[in-house]
């Protein structure tokens, strides 16, 4: 009733409108108006009614009203601000602040703090301004911008949304809102905000890029790729457009189309180590090994300070796929560029690759030398010890082989494998009874169908003797 009496004092027209509004709500209760239940709930909510009542206020009332005396005082402060006497203006504004002071005082002071990059203080004062005058559009906008500037996106979203509610939905506000939503991974809302920003300002590419990224993040790869086509047509020299489209092609399982984009970026002279490594990964997966190695080498030369783990991983894949020439070329370049900076784990990785290459190429002595380097780096590398045992066994040095196998067996994670290799060597020399306890222990530690079958065969040979 208090609310009703207030608006009756404002004149017959407002009273009549309010009566029509409230009677409309009553109609929904009596069933005369058949609204869907969700709409009905919104229609009858206090928030909806409050917003409707606020609609009687003129939309020009997004600024606090100023009395004549306040206008005179504020003019003095504005004169100080215009003459770059910010500190003096801030002192005067601080003195005139208070619960009863006009919200414009808070706003001017907050703006000074904003210009001086005193963001925490600016936020506090802007908050005071909007608490005094909740429809203060400019204060809400600057508050939202500071929150974006400070990466406080969860707080920026309601502030920027309030600006739009108050009728201040310009392209920058929508664009910043889109950026804030994208930063909290709400890509559907980000898409909507960026669409509005593009609608209001089609010439700003940042809003278009934000829209394209929102498609990509929603895994709408075809839409992202198609939209990037438009962006590339407008600005073909923008590498980020080509790269985003390449990522969309990968999402669409079209890696070779993505490779074309990465190659075009390289021709533009705007490749990064990441883009070149990605290009190498594509060629590697497609079996184009020479092209893959070329890409990895360009990535390393593009940024010699970058870690070599990507190239090392590629070298392992090349070795496993018997692309030995390409693997050796990549390994040698890794050693040339990063040899001194490699950590112990990376050095071991390279040495193991060299050992595998030596085995594949029949260079037994080189293999042994490399494996000994690995063991020198890490005496507890069970894999290297087992490989050394195998090398010694192949060369007929059973005593040395046993030494390596027993060392490997003392390492818990490699005990089972070491005992199987040791047993295999004994079986080849006809020592079945000595091999049996090793195989039984290996099967106990690490059960395997293959080892079980081998164990049964050895038991049969042992009994038949």
Joined together, the tokens standing for residue 109 give 């002071």
For helices 205-217 and 171-183, what crossing angle results, to 10°?
A: 30
Give residue 389's pLDDT: 85
pTM confidence score: 0.67
Q: Which of 339, 320, 322, 329 is nearest to 291 (CA)?
A: 329
Q: Name residue, tokens 């050693």.
A: 335
Give residue 12's pLDDT: 35
What's the CATH fold of domain 271-378? 1.25.40
Within a 10 A sphere around the Cβ of 302, how many other Cβ atoms? 16
- Whole-number Å distance between alpha carbons of 440 and 459: 10
Q: Quick check: do 271-378 and 381-465 share a fold?
A: yes
Q: Where are the domains of the chain?
A: 1-33, 271-378, 381-465
Q: What is the dihedral of CA 447, 449, 454, 455, to 10 degrees?
A: 40
Give residue 13's pLDDT: 37
Give residue 11's pLDDT: 36
Residue 205: alpha-carbon gap to chain centroid: 22
Q: For each successive 10 residues of the chain (465 residues), what is the average pLDDT? A: 36 37 42 54 63 51 72 70 70 71 83 86 91 91 91 94 92 93 96 96 93 96 96 95 97 96 95 94 94 93 80 86 86 79 72 72 65 75 81 84 91 91 90 90 90 89 80
We find that the CATH architecture of domain 381-465 is Alpha Horseshoe (1.25)
Give residue 294's pLDDT: 94
């Amino acid at each position: 009733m208090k609310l009703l009496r207030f608006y009756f004092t404002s004149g017959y027209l407002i009273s009549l409108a309010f009566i029509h509004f409230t009677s409309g709500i009553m109609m929904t209760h009596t069933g005369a108006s058949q609204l869907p239940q969700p709409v009905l709930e919104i229609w009858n909510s206090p928030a909806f009614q409050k917003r409707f009542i606020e609609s009687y206020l003129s939309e020009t009332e997004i600024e606090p009203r100023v009395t004549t005396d306040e206008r005179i005082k504020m003019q003095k402060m504005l004169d100080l601000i215009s003459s770059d006497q910010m500190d003096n203006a801030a002192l005067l504004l601080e003195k005139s602040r208070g619960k009863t002071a006009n919200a414009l005082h808070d706003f001017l002071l907050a703006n000074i703090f904003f210009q001086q990059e005193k963001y925490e203080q600016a936020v506090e004062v802007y908050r005071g301004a909007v608490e005094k005058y909740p429809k203060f559009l400019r204060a809400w906008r600057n508050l939202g911008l500071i929150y974006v500037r400070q990466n406080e996106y969860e707080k920026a979203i309601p502030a920027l949304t309030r600006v739009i509610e108050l009728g201040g939905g310009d392209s920058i506000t929508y664009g910043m809102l889109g950026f804030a939503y994208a930063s909290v991974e709400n890509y559907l809302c980000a898409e909507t905000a960026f669409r509005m920003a593009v609608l209001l300002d089609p010439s700003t590419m940042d809003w278009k890029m934000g829209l394209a990224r929102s498609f990509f993040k929603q895994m709408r790869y075809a839409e992202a790729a198609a939209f990037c086509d438009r962006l590339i047509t407008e600005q073909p020299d923008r590498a980020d457009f080509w790269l985003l489209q390449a990522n969309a092609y990968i999402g669409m399982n079209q890696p070779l189309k993505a490779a074309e984009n990465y190659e075009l970026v390289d021709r533009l002279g705007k490749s990064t180590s990441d883009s070149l490594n990605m290009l190498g990964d594509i060629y590697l997966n497609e079996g184009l090994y020479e092209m893959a190695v070329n890409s990895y080498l360009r990535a390393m030369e593009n940024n010699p300070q970058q870690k070599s783990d990507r190239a090392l991983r590629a070298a392992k894949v090349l070795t496993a796929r018997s692309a030995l020439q390409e693997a050796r070329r990549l390994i040698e370049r890794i050693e040339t560029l990063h040899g001194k900076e490699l950590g112990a784990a990376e050095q071991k990785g390279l040495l193991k690759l060299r050992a595998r290459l030596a085995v594949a190429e029949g260079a037994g002595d080189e293999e042994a030398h490399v494996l000994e380097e690995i063991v020198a780096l890490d005496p507890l590398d069970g894999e290297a010890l087992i490989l050394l045992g195998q090398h010694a066994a192949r060369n007929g040095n059973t005593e040395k082989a046993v030494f390596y196998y027993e060392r490997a067996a003392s390492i818990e994670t490699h005990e089972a494998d070491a005992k199987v290799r040791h047993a295999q060597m004994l079986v080849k020399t006809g020592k079945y009874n000595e091999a049996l306890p090793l195989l039984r222990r290996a099967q106990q530690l690490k059960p395997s169908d293959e080892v079980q079958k081998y164990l049964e065969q050895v038991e049969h040979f042992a009994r038949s003797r």
